[in-house]
Structure 1
Amino acid sequence: MHYRDKVLIVDDEQAIVELMGLYLKSDYDVIPAYSGQEALDKVKTEKPDIILLDVMMPDMNGYEVCRVLKTSVETQFLPVVMVTALSGKDDRIKGIEVGADEFLGKPVNRLELVTRVKSLLRIKHLQDKILAERNEAMNYLDIAGFVVFVLDSDMKINLVNRKGNEVLGYNEFELIGHDFIKFLVPEGKGSELRDEFTEIISGESEPQEFAEHVVLAKDGKEIPMRWYDVVLMDNDGKITGILRSGEDLSKFE
């Protein structure tokens, strides 16, 4: 059976939801919602592939809903199209600030709506493919028994694999967004490591073949690790972060 993408349409006016649904229902499964809170609830239960989100709603406006979605690790890549009768520059800036991916004006033009939805879903499918490939690679590392972190240029944790959470005693998303050194390296032992990282990120030096230092588990236990660091670069060759794979040395003690 062919999978049909799900479009969540959110507007407190039922007629608008029905009209946009009419434009899209031949190609997509349409899910209606009539308030901000209902939209958030249906994101959890229905797992839509894209959201068409009205800005002006009485209980929770579209900006607030979008902010919640874009600050959650689970929904940050979910495309959000803000649908608004507002045309001011400040309103668009506000939408961009909360992470909106696109804007549609009211009354909605059928061709523009269909084109924007199709375009954003194409991008989402590419992102899903990349994430699936990344997760598959992470699974291989889990099987090999390595702890893996992806750190950005500010040493914030962007990703940690299942083995890392397991060894350190954290749930799936607990470590995301935290400073690796402040959060996981014992006090008094992090300044030298931060200096090393700063030099690597700036390109002044290359990572050592390996390095050994302890990290703190959630229960406060110090776990000795051997770390192997690799720099991450964008398409222009600029260093964007560090991939740290670590081996738990306590299992050899």
Structure 2
Amino acid sequence: MQDRDKVLIVDDEQAIVELMGLYLRSEYDVVSAYNGQEALEKIRSDKPDIVLLDVMMPDMNGYEVCRRLKTSVETQFLPVIMVTALSGKDDRIKGIEVGADEFLGKPVNRLELVTRVRSLLRIKHLQDKILAERNDALGYLDAAGFIVVVVDPDLRINLINRKGNEALGYEEFELIGQDFVKAVVREDMGDEVRTSLLAALAGNSKLPDYWEIPVVCKDGRHITIRWYDTLLGGNGGEVTGLICSGEDLSIFSKDV
């Protein structure tokens, strides 16, 4: 039997929690919380698949709870529906700014509630599948004995494997989103490397078979990495980024 999705309902009014729970119990397992701090604790302990979150609560309002969830690596993809009696445009904008996925007005309409929960859970299941496939791919990359860095057309780092983080001295997510050239390439080589990579990404030149570039580790050490770069393409043939695989040459010099 397939496990049922779990819904966390958060509201400081017990009657509202019970009513929404009644609407959802036939399809989902329901967990309840009555304030913001309890909601965060239930998310850690019960691992819900979606959160229905009241905005106006006395200790920690729904905006702050949502902000914490969406800025945490562990819960950033957890769907959050803000449930509120507030109807102003500014309130909705504030919810969007903290990462809310959907909004429901009070009093809650049963059909609207069920429809939006189903829709967001469908999206979450697709995201979970994609993330699982990504994690499998990362597992293979982490098992490789070489550095792997994936950058977008703006040279922002989208992915770096464990070997890369270890070689450069960073934690798992520290380099994600950073400019590849600014973050790791030695300053005196930065302009040359940036110009070459951007020209290749724009289709104006070819990448070299390989090149040896001095890079700077987090602790300030300089090491030389031999990079083998490959352009990444989308289904329409457009260039979507660059995969850089490299080997730390300083390891070999120590062995000599």
* TM-score (norm: length of structure 1): 0.87
Q: Which residue of 1 aligns with 2:167?
A: 167
Q: Which residue of 1 aligns with 2:36?
A: 36
Task: Supply the distance in 2 between the matched residues of 1:67 and 1:235 (Cα, whole angstroms).
Answer: 35
Note if 1:146 corresponds to 2:126. no
Q: Please state whether the residue corresponding to 1:83 is helix, strand or coil.
A: strand
Q: Which residue of 1 aligns with 2:133?
A: 133
Task: Supply the distance in 2 between the matched residues of 1:251 and 1:104 (Cα, whole angstroms).
Answer: 57
Q: Which residue of 1 aligns with 2:73?
A: 73
Asked if the contact 1:73/1:173 (under 8 Å) is kept, the reply is: no
Q: Which residue of 2 aligns with 1:181?
A: 181
Q: Please state whether the residue corresponding to 1:188 is helix, strand or coil.
A: helix
Asked if the contact 1:207/1:229 (under 8 Å) is kept, the reply is: yes
Q: Which residue of 2 aligns with 1:198?
A: 198
Between stretches 202-211 and 46-55, larger displacement belongs to: 202-211
Q: Which residue of 2 aligns with 1:104?
A: 104
Between stretches 63-72 and 97-106, larger displacement belongs to: 63-72
Q: Which residue of 1 aligns with 2:86?
A: 86
Task: Supply the distance in 1 between the matched residues of 2:171 and 2:144 (Cα, whole angstroms).
Answer: 20
Q: Which residue of 2 aligns with 1:251?
A: 251
User: Paired residues, what number?
Assistant: 253
Q: Which amino acid aligns with 2:79?
A: P
Q: How far did residue 129 of structure 1 move?
A: 1.0
For the pair shown, the structure with the greater C-alpha radius of gyration is 2
Q: How far did residue 120 of structure 1 move?
A: 0.9
Q: Please state whether the residue corresponding to 2:76 is helix, strand or coil.
A: coil
Between stretches 11-20 and 200-209, larger displacement belongs to: 200-209
Between stretches 73-82 and 211-220, larger displacement belongs to: 211-220
CA 1:145–1:240 in structure 2 vs 1: closer, same or farther (change >3 Å)?
Answer: same
Note if 1:63 corresponds to 2:55. no
Q: How far did residue 133 of structure 1 move?
A: 1.1
Q: How far did residue 239 of structure 1 move?
A: 4.2
Task: Supply the distance in 1 between the matched residues of 2:94 and 2:236 (Cα, whole angstroms).
Answer: 30
Task: Supply the distance in 2 between the matched residues of 1:245 and 1:231 (Cα, whole angstroms).
Answer: 12
Q: Please state whether the residue corresponding to 2:229 is helix, strand or coil.
A: strand
Q: How far did residue 84 of structure 1 move?
A: 1.3
Task: Supply the distance in 1 between the matched residues of 2:159 and 2:92 (Cα, whole angstroms).
Answer: 31
Q: For residues 168-199 of structure 1, what are the alpha-carbon distances to aligned partners after superposition, in whole Å with 9 as ceiling and x for unaligned?
A: 23222222233322222223222222223333
Q: Percent identity?
A: 71
Q: Which residue of 2 aligns with 1:211?
A: 211
CA 1:169–1:85 in structure 2 vs 1: closer, same or farther (change >3 Å)?
Answer: same
Q: How far did residue 83 of structure 1 move?
A: 1.0
- Structure 1: where are the runs of 5+ without partners? none
Q: Which residue of 1 aligns with 2:46?
A: 46
- Structure 2: where are the runs of 5+ without partners? none
Q: How far did residue 233 of structure 1 move?
A: 5.0
Between stretches 141-150 and 232-241, larger displacement belongs to: 232-241
Q: Which residue of 2 aligns with 1:122?
A: 122
Task: Supply the distance in 2 between the matched residues of 1:28 and 1:146 (Cα, whole angstroms).
Answer: 45
CA 1:83–1:170 in structure 2 vs 1: closer, same or farther (change >3 Å)?
Answer: same
